[in-house]
Amino acid sequence: MINHINNKHFIEGVSLEDISQAHPTPFYVYSQSKITSTYESLKNTLDTEIFYAIKANSNQAIIKLMASLGAGADVVSVGELERAITAGVSSKKIIFEGIGKTKNDIAYAIEKNIRLINVESIDELERINKVALHQNTKVDIGIRLNPNIDGKTIDKITTGKKTDKFGIDTDQLEEMFQILKDLQNVNLISISCHVGSQIFSINVFTKIFQKMKNNAQIFTDKGYSIKHVDLGGGLGVKYQENKDALNLQLLKEELNKCFDDTPYKLSFEPGRYLVANAGILITSVITTKNNGGINFLVTDAGMHSLIRPALYQAHHEIEAVNKDSNEFINYTIAGPICESSDIFAKNIGLPKQKVGNLLVIKDTGAYGKVMASNYNSRGLPLEILVNNEDFVVIHQPLNVKEFIALDQIPEWFN
């Protein structure tokens, strides 16, 4: 995504050096053209409905861009639902997921007249019916199934195995059908599943497709008119240059093979896939040091800015913007947070760096800023969107004084 022209680093038509002169690091930069091309490629290849999983990057500008491209929204909280509506997503293109919906959450979703609420437990099914009854209405629902499929990904991002907390175990379907037939305020029109993130195996997707087709038939045989089958997200994103990308054409072939004669609409709910490679995090070197023979570059970004490496041991390629030395040194890139886990990368070769130099942490458009925090009472990074030769700040975070002012000191201390 970064272009190198005359020893400068460009994202679309804007140099990172120009952005860094206008705004203090650390900051996220997103490419509008990259998001657009990724969405259009996915949409044109799969030819299904696309519901953008807002949890990946919930900035209003990103959601609005997705909506302008034709995407719906997949939300997992009332906050995300409000973000989608505020950004202009049609309520009938919003799906409400999540295993922890309260009565108030459900009531709000019903009031907003969204496409449907995906049910993740029998308990929740009954709760939705009660809320709809109280509002004297009937609400469209989907059933999120737990298909007991191993997504062949890391444990912290798997969601479709029998022991995971998500969805309704298919072994509980008969019990669910018995309860469902007595519920008069819900209208079952959809089934869905999501087995995890970072799935590259076409065989895993084939298993998902076949199981969902079989389950759709089970629901049909029970007398339910299934109009939508949501196949989840999890489309693998390439974070390393030497890794293969997900083969969308093979995925499309398997999709067509399985669902060539089915009466319902198909959809996917990608998040990471649409935005991860479209974002970078720019950070400055604030200290260089050597401890125990290890060369450290300490940056102003840390696990408070991007927690994925500390939380998941996630890999992100790092590139030096300043390459004013022919000497290469193996560095460990560390953040300023008082945690030993605040490390972005270990033992990576970069041109010799000095304080004030800029580093690019790549592929941070998903699960970056949305997972950032004020840990150690540090500020959040701002966010910038680039469109051709223009760039604009799309999120200006509170400064330290502003977020401290949100605290309330009890009167009895005075």
Q: Where in the chain are the domains?
A: 2-29+277-404, 98-268
CATH class of 98-268: alpha beta
For residues 336, 337, 342, 343, the Cα torsion angle rounded to the nearest 10 degrees is 0
Q: What is the pLDDT of residue 157?
A: 47
Determine contact, residues 86/60, Cβ cutoff 8 Å: yes
| Across 287-301, average pLDDT | 98
- The pLDDT tens digits for 234-269 are 999 999 988 889 999 999 999 999 999 899 999 999
Of all residues in the chain, the percent with pLDDT exceeding 70 is 96
pLDDT tens digits for range 149-198: 765 555 544 554 555 667 888 888 999 999 999 999 999 999 999 988 89
Active-site annotation holds for 193: no
Report the relative pairing of strands 72-75 and 49-53 from DSSP bridges. Answer: parallel
**pLDDT for residue 165:** 64
Over pLDDT 90: what percentage of the chain? 88
Radius of gyration of the chain (CA): 23
Could you give the count of Cα atoms lying within 13 Å of 125 in the half-sphere of its Cβ? Answer: 23
Q: What angle do CA 386, 392, 396 make, to 5 degrees?
A: 125
Q: Which of 5, 6, 261, 338 is catalytic?
A: 338
Q: What is the pTM of this model?
A: 0.94
pLDDT digits (tens, 9 = 90+) for 339-367: 999 999 999 999 999 999 999 999 999 99
Query: Superfamily for 2-29+277-404?
Result: Lyase, Ornithine Decarboxylase; Chain A, domain 1 (2.40.37.10)
In 3D, which of 72, 132, 123 has the Cα closest to residue 99?
A: 123
Residues 6+ apart with CB under 8 A from 241: 317
What was the pLDDT predicted at 155?
52
Closest by CA to 278, choosing from 20, 38, 10, is: 38
Kindly report, residue by residue over 11-49, the tens digit of the pLDDT.
999 999 999 999 999 999 999 999 999 999 999 999 999
State pLDDT tens for residues 55-66: 999 999 999 999
- Outline where DSSP puts E strands in 125-278: 139-146, 168-169, 186-192, 228-230, 265-268
